[in-house]
Amino acid sequence: SFPPGVLTLCRQVPAWGTAARQPPSLPLTPCRAFSNNRIQVELDESSGVATMKFKSPPVNSLSLDFLTEFCISLEKLENDRACRGVIFTSAVPKIFSSGLDITEMCGKSTEHYSEFWRAVQEMWLRVYGSNMVTVAAINGSSPAGGCLVALSCDYRIMVNNPKFSIGLNEAQLGIVAPFWFKDTFVNTVGHRVAECSLQLGSLHPAPKAHELGLVDELVPEEKLQEKAVAVMAQWLALPDHARQLTKSMMRKAVLDRLVANREEDVQNFVNFVSKESIQKSLRMYMEMLKKKKS
């Protein structure tokens, strides 16, 4: 039931990981509910809506293991005809996802950096290009890579709590968001808001994020699940085929840009993160986080 154009797009996306690290071959029987270590997945067969709940305390950081599990789970749902939409949310209080796991970018081998970055790319390609309706139910803060997950969905609902913030704050850490983070951001909030927010590394409190168009709707925390289900129902009321082709038309240019430059982008990341000045920045940032905790 997937339209040929969109399938072609997805097939252009190289299979996950490297030859040495293939995901396990997928079961042919449709999934109904499964839980691995870091993400709990439930599929409501009556509505065709799955929920992927991040439960990787303390902050749902996007480690290589998390990303691997994320991509495998999402691919299972993508290939399951009973599933038409997926809601992303968090099982960890106050945090949606803290973004890329900095420990994966610090003091590791260049091979490790490459593998990690390919997993980040894969995650984005799969969410931004998903044939399913994707809704982010953002029940906590969502900086950097966490914000990217939300931006890659079709719709963003955030808990109306000014203590929860969201944004691409890479510049605060002395690093630079890659061009496809930027492209996704510009497609959502426009060039000017993106330019300003990216340079300042802004983390916007929920109300400001809503005002800027970074999230589509604010709700009280106790209404979040209900609202996500209602929004999903509204999107699923449309015929899949037309909706998927329309989504592909809107997002294809930006997806294709990474697909065409994927290895170059890996190389850029590896070169950048391998610099001693960047390693130093990241170590300082981790020290600061540790001090904050204690």
Tell me if 245 contacts a copy of itself by CB under 8 A: yes
- Give the residue with the Cβ less far from a copy of itself, 82 or 176: 176
218 carries an active-site annotation: no
The answer to the question of residue 195 lying near a copy of itself (CB under 8 A) is yes
Which range in 23-31, 95-103, 122-130, 199-207 contacts a copy of itself by CB under 8 A?
A: 199-207
Running DSSP on this structure, what letter comes out for residue 203? -
User: Quick check: is 224 catalytic?
Assistant: no
Q: Please pick, among 64, 74, 100, 212, the residue that the annotation labels catalytic.
A: 100
Going 227 to 231 to 237 to 241, the CA torsion angle's sign is negative
Most distant CA pair in the chain, distance: 53
Of 151, 145, 40, nearest in space to 95 by CA: 145
Tell me how far, at minimum, the Cβ of 280 lies from a copy of itself, in Å: 11
Sign of the torsion formed by the C-alpha atoms of 192, 198, 200 and 206: positive
Q: Should residue 196 be labelled a site residue for a copy of itself when binding is judged by CB under 8 A?
A: yes
Task: Indicate whether 135 belongs to the interface with a copy of itself (CB under 8 A).
Answer: no
Count Cβ neighbours within 10 Å for each residue of 236-251 and write b for 16 or more, e otherwise: beeebeebbeebbeeb
Active site annotation includes 77: no
Selected from 27, 57, 162, 213, the binder of a copy of itself by CB under 8 A is 213
Sign of CA dihedral 198, 213, 255, 78: positive
Joined tokens for residue 146: 């966490």
Please say which residue, 15 or 284, places its beta carbon nearer to a copy of itself: 284
Cα→Cα distances 174→107, 128, 268, 285, Å: 17, 26, 15, 9
Query: Per rule CB under 8 A, is residue 173 in the interface with a copy of itself?
Result: yes
Q: Is the peptide bond before 58 cis (omega within 30 degrees of 0)?
A: yes
Catalytic residue among 145, 146, 167, 201: 145
Residue 170 catalytic?
A: yes
Options 198, 206, 228, 229; binder of a copy of itself; rule CB under 8 A: 198
List residues binding a copy of itself (CB under 8 A).
154-155, 170-177, 179, 182, 186-192, 194-196, 198-201, 213, 216, 234-235, 238-239, 241-243, 245-247, 249-251, 277, 281
Q: Which residues are catalytically annotated?
A: 100, 145, 169-170
